Amino acid sequence: MWWQIVRRLLIFLISALVASIVVFVLLTLVGDPARTILGTEATPQGIAEMRHQMGLDRPVITQYLSWANGMLHGDFGTSFVTQLPIGPQIGERLLVTLWLVAGGMVVALVVALPLGTLAALWHRRVAGWILSGLSQLGIAVPAFLAGILLIAAFAVELGWLPSGGYVVPAADPIGFLKHMMLPWASLGLVQGAVLARYVRSAVLDEMEQDYLRTARAKGMTVWRAVIRHGMRNASIPVLTVLGVQMITVLVGAVVVEQVFVIPGIGSFLVDSVARQDRLAVQGIVVTIVVISLAVSFLVDTAYALIDPRLRRR
């Protein structure tokens, strides 16, 4: 058990290392920041001087090591474009996106678990087909479209909620919730619809299991047996999908952030790319990659907690 966790942790660290190298090398290949800063009228001497000043004339390996070393100490460097330190900005923007993603996934779970379970338990009834149809509909709607529709209904038409923007939760908790309601709903409903289908098939699989029949033979109703004995085992495939979804939502949050004008990491990335701010782009991409890897690591570790057969000594 512990050895497995250590092994996964090693895999996580190695993956993070490889990812940081790939990101660094790829971004080093495109463009020259010195030329970007100085513009089209720069002299070759001026560019060379700038490159030296920025440390770009050093070997790539040295550049990588000093960058990576800084990141390990929480120093993401200072942007050549905005002259601002990148680390604190990433932290601030990331926190916003994490709020968005976490809330969205909670909504997704709250939607998917009952919906999927009921669809499975009622799979021979009309009610079950209706639930399946609803989740199919939800899958077909992209999150940004759901967002626009929600804004049209609840912000423009009814005026109950703001159409966009962001409030720091510590400053104004109620305002924060008001602003996040629609983004959470648009992320959560769509992801919940996808997740519900996996919950349904996982629960259906469980209903076929012999031990569910044993549970009924003990004196449980089908429902009780599914909830007591089926849910835990069904959670393994569901967790796999949930992990993938969290990563997808984290990376894809930019779309929802744009629709709702939320200053998250996705919009920071888009802005940085537009500004050709290489150092910021590097830092953001590596941060997103590391978080994605961490999610996979946690999901893998959770398997062993759920299923004792996966705990080898």
Partner 1 sequence: MTVPMPEPMSQPPMTPFAAAAGAPVPSRPETSVPAVRVRDLSISAGSVPLVHDVSFDVGAGRRVGIIGASGSGKTLTCLAIAGLLPVGLTATGSVRVDGFGPDVLTASERELATMRGRLTGVVFQEPMTALNPTMRIDRQIMEAMRLHGGRAPRALDRAAAETILREVGISDPRRIARSFPHELSGGQRQRVVIAIALANRPRLLICDEPTTALDVTVQATVLQLIDTQTSAAGSALLFISHDLAVVASVCDELLVMWQGTIVERGHVTTVLENPTHPHTRQLLADADVSVRTESARPGPEMP
Report the interface residues with partner 1, using CB under 8 A.
124, 209-211, 213-222, 224, 228-229, 232-233, 306-309
Instruction: Spell out the residues 6+ positions from residue 33 whose beta carbon is closer than 8 angstroms to its own.
Output: 54, 56, 80, 276, 278, 279
In this structure, are residues 115 and 191 in contact, taking their beta carbons and an 8 Å threshold?
no
Least separation in angstroms between residue 206's CB and partner 1 is 10
- Rounded CA gap, 58 and 213, in Å? 69
In this structure, are residues 254 and 266 in contact, taking their beta carbons and an 8 Å threshold?
yes
Nearer to partner 1, 37 or 222 (CB): 222
Least separation in angstroms between residue 295's CB and partner 1 is 23
Nearer to partner 1, 52 or 311 (CB): 311
Nearer to partner 1, 137 or 305 (CB): 305
Least separation in angstroms between residue 232's CB and partner 1 is 5
Signed CA dihedral, 150, 266, 251, 31: sign only: positive
Nearer to partner 1, 72 or 217 (CB): 217
Least separation in angstroms between residue 195's CB and partner 1 is 21
Least separation in angstroms between residue 122's CB and partner 1 is 11
Nearest to 243 by CA among 232, 235, 233: 235
Nearer to partner 1, 73 or 309 (CB): 309
Nearest to 103 by CA among 211, 22, 179: 179
